Amino acid sequence: MRNVSEFNLTKKYIEETCSYEPDFFNQIRDSIIAAGINEMSIDADSAQFLRVLLKTTGAKNVLELGTLGGYSAILFASIIPAIGHVTTIDNDVRYQPLSQGNAEKTGYKDKITFICNDGLKAMEQLASEGATFDFFFIDAAKNSYINYYEWALSMAKPGAMIVADNTLWKGEVPDPDKTSNPIRAMRRFNEYVSQDERVDVIITTTGDGMTLARVK
């Protein structure tokens, strides 16, 4: 088992070797740093991974749980085709001006719907309206990951990709001696998804760990 220092060394190597952020994403990153929320936002190697994954899947309609400063929502909007759309949900009203302002500055506001509401309530509403998506990104309340996942499945098209972030939690999830609430929540989620025959699953060490589930 790799320890945390080895995990961080690998992460540093990946960031230095193949992470790339276009100039306007650097500006978004600067705004997130200024707001003091960079630690909660996706990092450069996670962004590059999602960029390649989204291009590979050819997804058109994206649902995101956890808007924060808007970095990932704008990333998705910049990749999907013109007919595509991103819906992003966050219940923290404090960061709505930042995320929507970043979307407007980068020219992607018309491709993004911002929903300020509890994630589960918003997903239930979307499902009741018959909404469907082919790409999901879960990066919100860790204790709700399984519920987010189930709602995602209810709105997923065949072949849809569900991506959950932070699922290795700084490389500590595999360590049985680590028992914080987020770590235990990520263990429960990974075990739950890995036993689900409705999807094909892999866990990657990208960023803080990402679990990918492709709907069969």
Is 116 in a helix, a strand, or coil?
A: strand
- Burial of 40: CB neighbours in 10 Å, binned 0-12, 13-18, 19+: middle
Choose among 127, 171, 135, 160: nearest CA to 62. Answer: 135
Measured in degrees and rounded to the nearest 5, phi and psi for residue 37 equal: -125, 20
Percent of the chain whose pLDDT exceeds 90: 81
What would the pLDDT profile of 139-178 be if each residue is shown by its tens digit? 999 999 999 999 999 999 999 999 999 999 988 999 999 9
Q: Count the domains in the chain.
A: 1
Q: What is the overall mean pLDDT for the chain?
A: 94
Euclidean distance between CA atoms 111 and 73, whole angstroms: 9
DSSP letter assigned to residue 42: -
- Residue pair 65/119 in contact (Cβ under 8 Å)? The answer is yes
From 142-146, 188-192, 202-206, the region with the lowest mean pLDDT: 202-206
Residue partners of 72: CB distance under 8 A and separation at least 6: 41, 42, 47, 50, 64, 66, 137, 139
Choose among 62, 47, 55: nearest CA to 79. Answer: 55
CA dihedral 189, 192, 198, 201 (to 10 degrees): 60
Name the residue range of residue 90's domain.
4-215
Token pair belonging to 13: 């190597």
Strands 156-165 and 210-215: antiparallel
Euclidean distance between CA atoms 126 and 132, whole angstroms: 8
**Quick one: pLDDT at residue 9?**
81
CATH number for 160: 3.40.50.150
